Amino acid sequence: MTAAWPAEAPGALHGEVYGPTMGVRLGFSPFTFDRDERVLRRDGRMVPLAPKVAEALALLLAEPGALVEKNALRDALWPEGFVEDGNLTQTIYLIRRALDPDGDGRAFVETVPKRGYRFVAPVTVLADVPPGRGMRERARFALRSAAALVAFAFASGGASVGSGWWLNPPALTGEAARAYAVGEYDWNRRTEPMLRAAMEQFTRVIELAPDDARGYAGLAAAYVTAGDWHYDRIAPTDVAFRKAAEYAHEALRRDPHSGEAMTSLGWIALARDVDLDRAERIFTTAIALRPNYAPTYEFMGIVHLYRGDAESARTMLRRATELDPLSPIDLYWYGSSLYYAHRFAEARTALRGVLDLDAQNASAHEVLALADTELGLRDEALHVIEHMPPKSMQEDSYTHREMAMAFTAMRTGQRLQRLPDLRPRDPQHVDTEMAAALCILLGRRDSALAWLRLGLRDPKARIERKMLALDPRFAAVHDDARFRALWG
């Protein structure tokens, strides 16, 4: 079952709202930007911007075409200091994404290497907006938002709207709010060091707000990650999943409507129990409980991708990126769904966005190189592969990189003097799918079949097998019943 949101729901994020009475507006087609109110619109519809992002855009538009030094931007946006360099990069990325969601945004904002940024699109000064219009439009927006929530309640089969299930819980305040926000940011990186940092933040939330569910839900998500990604130095896999379930239930005791905790329970069903049906049922419930929690859409999208439904996965994963545009993992899965939907140019844009947020995301490098290869961009693909970090400390990164480079070269018509060792063998440190893809290019179907069978010994790989039918690397063997039997 695919959970859905109502047709009006995008209005809750992108509705026709004009904000307060405005001053001078700047135009750069198809956008306008209210310089005083920091409001961006596209064709009259508000484009939501976080406060720092709106402020950064205003600074770039203070003198269009002029270079704005990095230090000046950083000092203006974070006068309190103590900000990481990546924060500015992410802020510029969000401006570009808001202005050019299907491209890279560089037609609007140009990077001047090692110096700063400039706004390069033509800008004109527009007339003021008539007084009073903003208040009328805001009232209309509020009514539409309420209607969207009502429609979502019935579309999701949730409880009655009067029960208040869809309302956000009371906001955390002060240090607890800060700790939770930092913990979510750290957790979204999904690396072992950042996961440890996230756990410290979520533990701090529990210390400061012991009756609030969110600290417990955060630790549940962190421990599921440790189990799924095999971060044994944090906790052995079985212990990690057990702790995740315990923390999720602690969260639900404090808030029975905690969609965050339900999401972790669904993730346990998916990652530990390898049960797609139960995971999907739990995620559907989680979406009904918390319709604006991005990770639920991430995992629901993954479920649909595992079922071989790339288009449904793409819809879910796009929603995740709309709700949390700073999450590199959500954007990675969205880019992957585009690749499996054979929308290679769109996949390329999304995956380049991942690397803007997290340059060390090895999986994004890998799928980006595959998308570039399908587009015939051999040099770009090889460059991405050359800079691809290993997925894990145990991975034979040389063999992995060698196979990826050989595939790109051969797939784009280049003859190789030397091939990697493609004899089927222990797959522990070998990408069996890439080895199989190379064998197919060489006409060695029996060896390709052997590699795929070796890979499918892993129970987790078995639930992902329908993705093989979507993968363009295996299009040439769709007529072979032996391969169809693997992913059927």
Residue 267: pLDDT band (50, 70, 90) is: very high
- pLDDT, tens digit, 9 for 90 and up, residues 296-332: 999 999 999 999 999 999 999 999 999 999 899 999 9
pLDDT digits (tens, 9 = 90+) for 466-482: 999 999 999 999 999 99
Contact 194, 186 (CB under 8 A): yes
pLDDT of amino acid 137: 41
Angle between helices 344-357 and 362-374 (to 10 degrees): 150
Rounded Cα distance between 356 and 252, Å, is: 36
Specify the higher pLDDT residue, 75 or 57.
57
Question: Is the pLDDT score of 46 beyond 80?
Answer: yes
What pLDDT was estimated at residue 79?
72
CA distance 483 to 486: 5
- The correct CATH number of 174-291 out of 3.40.50.850, 1.25.40.10, 1.10.230.10, 1.10.3720.10 is 1.25.40.10
- Domain 22-126: CATH architecture, name and number where available: Orthogonal Bundle (1.10)
Cα separation, 36 vs 26, in Å, equals 10
Q: Please state the length of the chain.
A: 488
Going by C-alpha positions, the residue among 284, 295, 157 that lies closest to residue 221 is 295
Token representation of residue 255? 């808030």
pLDDT for 83: 60
DSSP string covering 118-135, please? EE-S--EEEPPPPTTHHH
Nearest alpha carbon to residue 14 among 40, 57, 45: 45
Beta bridge partner(s), residue 111: 117
Amino acid at 295: P
Please write the tens of the pLDDT for every residue from 410-424: 999 988 878 888 888
Residue 171 confidence class, pLDDT cut points 50, 70, 90: confident
Domain boundaries, the chain: 22-126, 174-291, 390-487
Check whether 452 has a pLDDT greater than 60: yes
- State the pLDDT confidence band at 259, using cuts at 50, 70 and 90: very high
Question: What's the CA gap between 420 and 409, in Å, rounded?
Answer: 13
**Residue 170's pLDDT band (cuts 50, 70, 90):** confident
Q: How would residue 17 be classed by pLDDT, with cut points 50, 70 and 90?
A: very low
User: Can you tell me the mean pLDDT for 449-466?
Assistant: 91
Element (DSSP H or E) covering residue 109? strand 109-112
Looking at residue 131, its pLDDT comes to 39
Dist. CA 440–CA 166, nearest whole Å: 50
d(CA 97, CA 15): 18
pTM for this predicted structure = 0.69
Report the Cα–Cα distance between both ends of the chain, in Å, rounded: 20
pLDDT of residue 124: 87
Where are the strands (E) in 167-253, listed by range? none
Q: And the tokens for 454?
A: 């070796």
